[in-house]
Amino acid sequence: MSFPCWFSPLRRVSFLGAAILLAASMASAQSSSAQAPAASASFSPAMESSSLQSPAALNLAALDPDAAALPAAPAPAASAGGAAAAGQEYGGGGGWKHYVGSRLAFEAGGGFNAPVGNDTPFITWGGNFTVGGGLRFSKRLSALFEYQFMGDKLPGPFLAAYGVQAGNSHINSLTGSPVLDLFPKKSNGVYLVGGWGYYHKSTNLQDYEEEESFYGIYDEPVTVASVTSNQWGGNAGLGIYHRLGGMYGDSHTQLFAEARYTFLHTPPPSASNGFGTTELIPVTLGVRF
């Protein structure tokens, strides 16, 4: 009679234990399935590549743990940046060709001549034309090799003294001329200029002769006498300029106006004539770049 009463509590305990074990196994299965996607989601090719190291790298890390902390070797792009910096130092990209090209300087201009000193009775006002080229050593200093032509007429009293009707004086020169910019960083500045070189002067006395052409009869000047000389001479003067372009006053293109005192000792053909020392002040307007 007592056996059934004892069996009933035992059965209840067994049934409760089985239920607890079943619940625990189901909870463990759900936790494993939830962790699997998270692990796969955190996986990346970068982790795989970092885990696949060469044996040499693994051995190095094993022997010296600090070796992994050493900085990486400089990238090849650094050398390209250095080359670019070197190009900028010489005037931008393009290397030495651009550097040499940026150092070249040219000029062209024209204007008028004013006689001064002992030359006043022997020549009148005239015109001039100048071209030149050279090197720019810095923003402040450049040197030009210049050709200049100066042409002047001869005054009436001088022509009358020689019994001719017309005449002119021509001077051709080749000079080396340094130019010193006093304000190299300004848009408007002042510069000093001077030169020394070779001068060829010719003084031509002329008479008019009648010439006939399809358009009629006209007077043509014919040279009846000419005196020439070759000598060294020099010039010195002052100029002003206005720089064109450039945000920081770094453009090489300038409009300039200058006046130079020009002196050449022309040896006279005789002691009685006035073909001696020549002194002029040519005033020139032009462009330099």
For residue 158, is it within any domain?
A: yes
Give me the pLDDT at residue 216, please. Answer: 79
In this prediction the pTM is: 0.63
- How far apart are the C-alpha atoms of 287 and 21, rounded to whole Å? 103
The number of folded domains in the chain is: 1
Q: When comparing pLDDT for 274 and 196, which is higher?
A: 196
Rounded average pLDDT over 60-80: 51
How confident is the model over 202-245, as pLDDT tens digits? 999 999 988 887 777 878 889 999 888 898 999 999 999 999 97
For residue 70, is it within any domain?
A: no
E strand spans, 94-215 = 104-115, 126-136, 141-153, 166-181, 188-213
For residue 33, is it within any domain?
A: no
Q: Which residues contact 188 (CB under 8 A, 6 or more apart)?
A: 240, 241, 242, 243
- Tokens linked to 74: 């400089």
For residue 43, is it within any domain?
A: no
How confident is the model over 248-278, as pLDDT tens digits? 656 789 999 999 999 988 765 444 454 567 8
- How far apart are the C-alpha atoms of 115 and 121, rounded to whole Å? 9
- How far apart are the C-alpha atoms of 129 and 110, rounded to whole Å? 4
- How far apart are the C-alpha atoms of 170 and 145, rounded to whole Å? 20
Percent of the chain with pLDDT over 70: 59
Give me the pLDDT at residue 48, please. Answer: 45
Residue 70 has pLDDT above 90, yes or no: no
Which band of pLDDT confidence, cut at 50, 70 and 90, is reported for residue 128? very high
For residue 88, is it within any domain?
A: no
Rounded average pLDDT over 95-124: 80
Give me the pLDDT at residue 123, please. Answer: 84
Domain that holds residue 276: 106-288
For residue 114, is it within any domain?
A: yes
User: What's the CATH code of the domain at 235?
Assistant: 2.40.160.20
Mean pLDDT value across the chain: 75
For residue 85, is it within any domain?
A: no
Percent of the chain with pLDDT over 90: 38
For residue 236, is it within any domain?
A: yes
- How far apart are the C-alpha atoms of 33 and 27, rounded to whole Å? 10
Residues in the chain: 289
Q: When comparing pLDDT for 179 and 186, which is higher?
A: 179
DSSP assignments along 95-119, one per residue? HHHHHHHHHEEEEEEEEEEEE-GGG
